[in-house]
């Protein structure tokens, strides 16, 4: 009655330098335990096979891989999942876990940071639970949490809400709704934006928010030149924007 012993699903974090000009040395941001565990995995689910291979090569320099990169089994999440996320139950990821049912450990990887946090992947994790596959998260950098800790905003009650609307009027409304939550419930509100819209979002925030609201922004965390700045909106209005349009940033508001 018993089948093969199932493999596990490992959630493997990636460094935060994806698409950046310079790379961070992995030992700066990755525990040796994470690299060692990742080096033993030979079956992968990822957003992009090319960057997964590049990351595996970096791991191999520190912790030799169980199989050469070209022999690793790598499958990509479908395009629709990249675009629209995969948390609404519309994508059934169980077929992606066939290797785990056959006994192979499988690694889930995103382009930067923790898979399934501010990134696709949750459909794969849900499928693992539904199939009785053990899920093991590994420690690594998570830009949201580094930004929250460094913001000085309330970290005992907070929300991450993803991207704000692109339409200017809708964005204004959304910012004010988030500010209202921050003020009335004391819940810090975090959000992100595509880098080339950073400056537009910054202007909208300074327009929409009340003077006493605290606005924090982090960019390039864990990288050279990374920074976090946190001030009242009133103070920000007298200063130049602390971010540019070329680096991913995390924004946070609170009181």
Distance in Å, CB of 124 to a copy of itself, minimum: 8
Parallel, antiparallel, or unpaired for β 214-219 and 227-232? Answer: antiparallel
Q: Which residues bind a copy of itself (CB under 8 A)?
A: 11, 25, 27-33, 85, 87-89, 114-123, 125-129, 134-137, 139-142, 144-162, 186-187, 214, 216, 221-222, 227-231, 255
Shortest separation between residue 229's beta carbon and a copy of itself, angstroms: 7
Strand, helix or coil for residue 238 = coil
Q: How many residues does the chain have?
A: 255
Minimum CB–partner distance for residue 156 and a copy of itself (Å)? 5
Longest dimension (CA), the chain: 71
Which of 48, 160 has the CB closer to a copy of itself?
160
Residue (50 or 157) nearer to a copy of itself, CB: 157
Query: Which lies closer to a copy of itself via its Cβ, residue 10 or residue 202?
Result: 10
| Per-position b or e across 232-246, b if 16+ CB within 10 A of its CB | ebeebeeeebbbeee
Structure tokens at 102: 């056959």
Nearer to a copy of itself, 43 or 126 (CB): 126
Alpha helices of 155-250 — where are they, by DSSP H?
Answer: 168-185, 198-208, 233-236
């Amino acid at each position: 009655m018993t089948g093969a012993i199932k493999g596990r699903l490992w959630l493997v974090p990636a460094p935060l330098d994806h698409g950046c000009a310079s790379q961070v040395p992995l030992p700066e941001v990755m525990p040796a335990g994470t690299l060692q565990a990742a080096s033993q995995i030979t079956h992968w689910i990822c957003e992009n096979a090319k960057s997964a291979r590049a990351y595996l090569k970096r791991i191999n320099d520190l912790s030799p891989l169980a199989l050469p990169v070209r022999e690793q089994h790598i499958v990509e999440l479908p395009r629709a999942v990249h675009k629209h996320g995969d948390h609404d139950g519309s994508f059934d990821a169980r077929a992606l876990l066939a290797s785990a049912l056959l006994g192979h450990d499988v690694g889930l990887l995103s382009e930067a940071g923790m898979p399934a946090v501010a990134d696709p992947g949750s459909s794969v994790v849900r499928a693992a639970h539904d199939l009785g596959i053990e899920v093991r998260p590994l420690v690594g950098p998570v830009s949201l949490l580094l930004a929250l800790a460094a913001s000085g905003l309330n970290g005992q009650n907070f929300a991450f809400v993803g991207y704000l609307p692109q339409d200017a009027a809708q964005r204004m409304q959304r910012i004010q709704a988030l500010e209202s939550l921050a003020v009335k419930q004391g819940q810090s509100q975090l959000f992100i934006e595509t880098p080339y819209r950073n400056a537009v979002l910054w202007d909208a925030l300074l327009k929409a928010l009340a003077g006493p609201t605290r606005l924090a922004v982090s960019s390039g965390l864990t990288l050279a030149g990374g920074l976090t700045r946190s001030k009242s909106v009133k103070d920000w209005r007298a200063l130049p924007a602390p971010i540019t349009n070329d680096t991913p940033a995390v924004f946070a508001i609170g009181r």
